[in-house]
């Protein structure tokens, strides 16, 4: 082994000495899991493997996932014989039943039968004849609690299940039809885990009209595989909703936030990391594209692209073509990958400027969009209260109502609730309290309101000055009969979707809260 990967005892300490420690190992590589999934015909089984791959990148890795499974489904960790006999907390196995568990499931050694008043130990493994003989009968109890056997199974899971899950995702010879002896119904357990993950994510999010409209559009994209463009103003919580919707479906959806940089390699690195694709220290663009496409083309995964306005060139409009947009729609969507674009109205201004200053034409882009959805500009008071209840679950009705009123008047809108709640908790922490009180919330509002007001005034003053300078530039130098210069400004390209060949979502047309 190279001396850069191994250090002898007593050698000088170097920072890179522990760089290869197992604790620093990344999650399961998506490009390798994709190869394994290509061997599976059942899409449901593929979904279970992508659940495992997703959890391997979460804090705690697969070890944390194993702990969650033990907490969510403790009764599933039992051998087939134990399940047949029952594993309830009050279940007592007779001596004969205990011998049956031991003999049928000897691979686990969970049938160890300790002597009376002896600790439960694998060293105590008496022969059947010794137990059944009259001389040895008095040395052993007449019954053993099923919980003791079950704890043996859970201990085996804590030790071996993480490696077993890794092999399941990488080794084509490992079958989902038969789990390890202490967890035989592995498919049932993983499907239940999918439901549990979704339930926990839904509990962290408020149910709002905006969220329902956004979820409807994303579900349409996942079902039809047609690209969807979801447009909404900033600070209404659409990024949180898109991320939460994606996290509810770890077996079939990946969330990707486009970086604000303009180069191709940073875009591909961010996309690769959102999928869990291996990325070298100095990656090549063509290699990353190959790995990304291998994953998305063979995995049946949907890609939710947030901050999609950054897919357009941010400068040099006269030369820059929208390579990111073309990549998402032509190289991914056209080949069967479900792609949903979540963006702000900036998207339309960037599109127009690229079209006006380059040979690129928008018809190919517009013709690919299966549904355009315009989100409400603001949330209603009941929806704001629902958000406040999620962020401050211990708040009373008056406090929740005050938070909603503050957000309704603030330009920060939904984000204002989070800022106030975080400030209130910081105030409580300084005072030595674990939870924020209604008084802390009121104090946070008093301290935050002057800054918000000053920021709004500063913005209005700067915008007014900008408009004056713009009007002065547009004034003709002398009187002529020519028409004044017409500027397109930032008028949304899709204000009249029908004129551009796009049919808006029916949800947009029927929702009483529609802002477009």
65 confidence band (pLDDT: 50, 70, 90): very high
pLDDT at 130 over 50: no
Which pLDDT value is given to residue 135?
Answer: 47
| Tokens 């477009």 belong to residue | 516
Q: Are the CB atoms for 307 and 267 separated by under 8 Å?
A: no
Which pLDDT value is given to residue 105?
Answer: 67
248 confidence band (pLDDT: 50, 70, 90): very high
Mean pLDDT of 291-316: 91
User: Quick check: helix, strand or coil at residue 168?
Assistant: helix
Q: Which residues pair with 255 in a beta bridge?
A: 304
pLDDT at 424 over 80: yes
pLDDT at 300 over 50: yes
474 confidence band (pLDDT: 50, 70, 90): low
251 confidence band (pLDDT: 50, 70, 90): very high
315 confidence band (pLDDT: 50, 70, 90): confident
Q: In the numeric block, which tokens belong to residue 81?
A: 């014989």
Q: Which residues pair with 339 in a beta bridge?
A: 303
Which pLDDT value is given to residue 106?
Answer: 56
Q: Which domains does the chain have, with CATH numbers?
A: 58-188 (no CATH), 204-375 (3.40.50.300), 381-450 (1.10.8)
Q: Are the CB atoms for 259 and 267 separated by under 8 Å?
A: yes
Q: In the numeric block, which tokens belong to residue 5?
A: 């990967």
Q: Which residues pair with 224 in a beta bridge?
A: none
Mean pLDDT of 55-69: 95
Mean pLDDT of 198-225: 95
For 351-365, the pLDDT digits (tens) are: 998 988 888 889 989
Least confident of 47-56, 344-353, 454-463: 454-463
The rounded distance, in Å, linking the Cα atoms of 447 and 452 is: 10
Which pLDDT value is given to residue 332?
Answer: 95
Residue-by-residue DSSP string for 212-249 = HHHHHHHHHHHHH---EEEE--TTSSHHHHHHHHHHT-
DSSP β-ladder status, 143-145 and 338-343: unpaired
pTM of the model: 0.81
Task: Write down the mean pLDDT value for the chain.
Answer: 83
**Choice between 332 and 18, residue whose per-residue pLDDT is larger:** 332
**Choice between 431 and 21, residue whose per-residue pLDDT is larger:** 431
> If you count DSSP H runs as helices and E runs as strands, how many of each does the chain have, helices first?
21, 7
Q: Are the CB atoms for 321 and 351 separated by under 8 Å?
A: no
127 confidence band (pLDDT: 50, 70, 90): very low
The rounded distance, in Å, linking the Cα atoms of 229 and 371 is: 6
120 confidence band (pLDDT: 50, 70, 90): very low
pLDDT at 108 over 70: no
Mean pLDDT of 414-423: 94
For 483-504, the pLDDT digits (tens) are: 444 444 444 444 444 444 444 4
Which pLDDT value is given to residue 96?
Answer: 79
For 77-96, the pLDDT digits (tens) are: 998 889 999 988 889 888 77
Residue 462 CB neighbours (<10 A): 10
Burial 128-163 (b: 16+ CB within 10 A, else e): eeebeeeeeeeebbeebbbebbbebbbebbeeebbe
Q: Which of 175, 173, 193, 195 is nearest to 184 (CA)?
A: 175
pLDDT at 472 over 50: yes
pLDDT at 455 over 70: no
Residue 341 CB neighbours (<10 A): 26
125 confidence band (pLDDT: 50, 70, 90): very low
Mean pLDDT of 337-347: 96
Which pLDDT value is given to residue 178?
Answer: 86
Which pLDDT value is given to residue 5?
Answer: 58
**Choice between 161 and 148, residue whose per-residue pLDDT is larger:** 161
Which pLDDT value is given to residue 190?
Answer: 97
Which range scores top for mean pLDDT: 297-301, 476-480, 494-498?
297-301
Which pLDDT value is given to residue 110?
Answer: 43
Which pLDDT value is given to residue 122?
Answer: 39
Q: In the numeric block, which tokens belong to residue 85?
A: 């006999």
């Amino acid at each position: 082994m190279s001396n850069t990967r191994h250090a002898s005892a007593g050698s000088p300490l170097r920072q890179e000495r522990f760089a290869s420690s197992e604790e620093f190992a990344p999650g399961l590589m998506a490009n390798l899991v994709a190869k394994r999934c290509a061997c599976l015909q059942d899409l449901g089984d593929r979904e279970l493997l992508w659940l495992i791959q997703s959890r391997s990148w979460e804090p705690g890795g697969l070890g944390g996932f194993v702990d969650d499974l033990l907490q969510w489904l403790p009764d599933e960790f039992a051998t087939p014989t134990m399940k047949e006999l029952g594993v309830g907390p009050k279940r007592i196995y007779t001596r004969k039943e205990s011998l049956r568990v031991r003999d049928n499931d000897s691979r686990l050694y969970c049938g160890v039968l300790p002597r009376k008043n002896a600790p439960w130990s694998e060293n105590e493994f008496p022969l059947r004849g010794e137990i059944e003989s009259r001389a040895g009968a008095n040395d052993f109890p007449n019954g053993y609690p099923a919980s003791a056997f079950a704890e043996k199974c859970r201990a085996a899971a804590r030790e071996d299940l993480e490696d077993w899950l890794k092999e399941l995702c990488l080794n084509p010879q490992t079958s989902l039809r038969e789990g390890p002896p202490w967890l035989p119904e592995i498919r049932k357990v993983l499907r239940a885990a999918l439901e549990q993950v979704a339930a926990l994510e839904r509990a962290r999010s408020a149910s709002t009209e905006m969220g329902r409209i956004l979820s409807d559009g994303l579900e349409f994209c996942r079902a039809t595989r047609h690209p969807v463009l979801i447009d909404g103003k900033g600070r209404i919580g659409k990024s949180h909703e898109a991320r939460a919707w994606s996290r509810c479906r770890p077996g079939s959806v990946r969330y990707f936030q486009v970086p604000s940089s303009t180069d191709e390699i940073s875009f591909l690195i961010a996309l690769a990391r959102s999928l869990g694709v291996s990325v070298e220290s100095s990656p090549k663009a063509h290699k990353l594209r190959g790995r990304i496409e291998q994953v998305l083309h063979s995995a049946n995964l949907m890609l939710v692209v947030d901050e999609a306005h950054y897919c357009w060139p941010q400068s040099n409009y006269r030369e820059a073509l929208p390579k990111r947009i073309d990549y998402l729609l032509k190289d991914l969507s056209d080949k069967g990958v479900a792609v949903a674009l979540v963006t702000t109205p900036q998207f339309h201004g960037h599109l127009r400027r690229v079209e006006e200053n380059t040979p690129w034409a928008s018809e190919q882009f517009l013709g690919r969009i299966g549904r355009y959805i315009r989100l409400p500009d603001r949330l209603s008071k009941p929806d704001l209260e629902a958000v406040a209840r999620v962020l401050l679950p211990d708040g009373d009705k008056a406090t929740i109502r005050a938070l909603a009123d503050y957000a309704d008047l603030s330009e920060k809108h939904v984000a204002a609730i989070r800022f106030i709640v975080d400030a209130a908790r910081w105030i409580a922490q300084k005072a030595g309290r674990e939870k924020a009180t209604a008084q802390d919330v009121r104090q946070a509002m008093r301290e935050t309101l002057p800054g918000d007001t000053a920021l709004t005034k500063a913005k209005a003053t700067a915008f007014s000055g900008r408009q004056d300078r713009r009007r002065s530039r547009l004034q003709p130098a002398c009187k002529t009969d020519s028409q004044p210069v017409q500027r397109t400004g930032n008028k949304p390209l899709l204000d009249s979707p029908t004129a551009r060949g796009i049919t808006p979502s029916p949800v947009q047309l029927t929702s009483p809260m529609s802002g477009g």
